[in-house]
């Protein structure tokens, strides 16, 4: 399981080639993922110069129309440290590794048409070997009216994931890391939650918010945490 909330792009110097001025690159770290960045053509290179060299363990993105992409990591002398090929097969995706002393991150992106990208994350991730034992149920915001003879009408809403997450057998450090994420994000700032980080074929990452307080249960030498989570747009 992984949680990604401390996005280094918020304080980086961020530029993009072929930027559509009506949909600027700063939109990629806006909390609304549907407030998108768009390019003026089918390719774009996004460059993020970080405030200070740091270790990066996660990249995540959501609400996109990408056909392909790579991300390259450079140190402060502009030497290439590593390159990852992005898996763009899912609408919300995250990828992991460990790259130390990163000073600059460069995304090279392509699409069949002009690029549209809602959210982009670069930074560290909270990692636990424990995976949540449940999926996140789907919830609808449809406003439904039923007549006495079972005819249905109403106003259509959206379908998102929403439910209670329980993560068992955490160490004290793992619990404190999740508590810090809650303190930082509160119930307003979205983050990426990857319950099954080892198998996105079963359940892909989700972009959403804490939707309740944290409940902590101490069990012998371990702690369990429960919270409500709600997918957001």
- Measured at the alpha carbon of residue 70, what is the angle toward residues 66 and 72, in degrees to the nearest 5? 145
Residue linked to tokens 């502009």: 78
| Mean pLDDT computed over 10-24 | 95
- 180-220 pLDDT, tens digit per residue, is 999 999 999 999 998 887 777 778 888 999 999 999 988 77
Dist CA 63 CA 78 (whole Å):
30
pLDDT classification of 233: cutoffs 50, 70, 90: confident
Q: Which strand (E) or helix (H) includes residue 177?
A: helix 172-185
- pLDDT surpasses 70 at 147: no
Name the more confident of 212 and 155. Answer: 212
Q: Is 222 helix (H, G, I), strand (E, B) or coil?
A: strand
pLDDT digit string (tens) for 113-143? 999 999 999 999 988 776 555 567 777 777 7
Residue-level pLDDT at 222 = 86
Residue-range domains of the chain with CATH: 2-127 (2.60.120.260), 138-231 (no CATH)
Judging by DSSP bridges, how do beta strands 126-127 and 2-4 pair with one another? Answer: antiparallel
**Residue 167 pLDDT > 90, yes or no?**
no
Phi first, then psi: give them for residue 216, nearest 5 degrees: -115, 130
Of 184, 214, 128, the closest CA to residue 6 belongs to: 184
Average pLDDT of span 93-105: 95
Give the torsion sign (CA, 169, 172, 177, 179).
positive
Q: Which DSSP helix (H) or strand (E) runs through 175?
A: helix 172-185
Mean pLDDT over 88-102 rounds to: 93
Predicted local distance difference test score (pLDDT) of residue 145: 78
Exposed / middle / buried, residue 77 (Cβ in 10 Å: 0-12, 13-18, 19+):
exposed
SS3 184: helix
Burial class of residue 18 in the structure, from the number of CB atoms within 10 Å of its CB (0-12 exposed, 13-18 middle, 19+ buried): middle
């Amino acid at each position: 399981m992984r949680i990604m909330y401390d996005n280094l792009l918020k304080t980086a110097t961020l530029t993009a080639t072929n930027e559509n001025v009506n949909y600027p690159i700063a939109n990629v770290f806006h909390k609304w993922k549907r407030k998108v960045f768009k390019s003026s053509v089918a390719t774009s290179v996004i460059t993020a110069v970080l405030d200070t060299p740091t270790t990066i363990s996660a990249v995540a993105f959501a609400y996109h129309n990408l056909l392909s992409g790579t991300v390259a990591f450079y140190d402060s002398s502009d030497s290439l440290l590593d390159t990852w090929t992005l898996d763009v097969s899912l609408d919300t995706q995250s990828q992991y590794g460990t790259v130390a002393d990163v000073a600059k991150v460069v995304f090279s992106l392509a699409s069949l048409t002009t690029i549209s990208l809602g959210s982009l994350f670069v930074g560290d991730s909270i990692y636990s070997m424990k995976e949540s034992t449940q999926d996140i149920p789907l919830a609808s915001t449809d406003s439904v009216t039923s007549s006495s003879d079972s005819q249905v009408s109403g106003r259509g809403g959206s379908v998102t994931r929403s439910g209670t997450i329980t993560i068992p057998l955490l160490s004290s450090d793992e619990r404190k890391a999740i508590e810090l994420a809650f303190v930082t994000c509160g119930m307003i700032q979205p983050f990426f939650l990857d319950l099954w980080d080892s198998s996105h074929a079963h359940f892909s990452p989700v972009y959403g918010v804490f939707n309740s307080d944290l409940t902590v249960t101490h069990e012998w030498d371990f702690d369990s945490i429960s919270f409500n989570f709600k997918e957001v747009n």
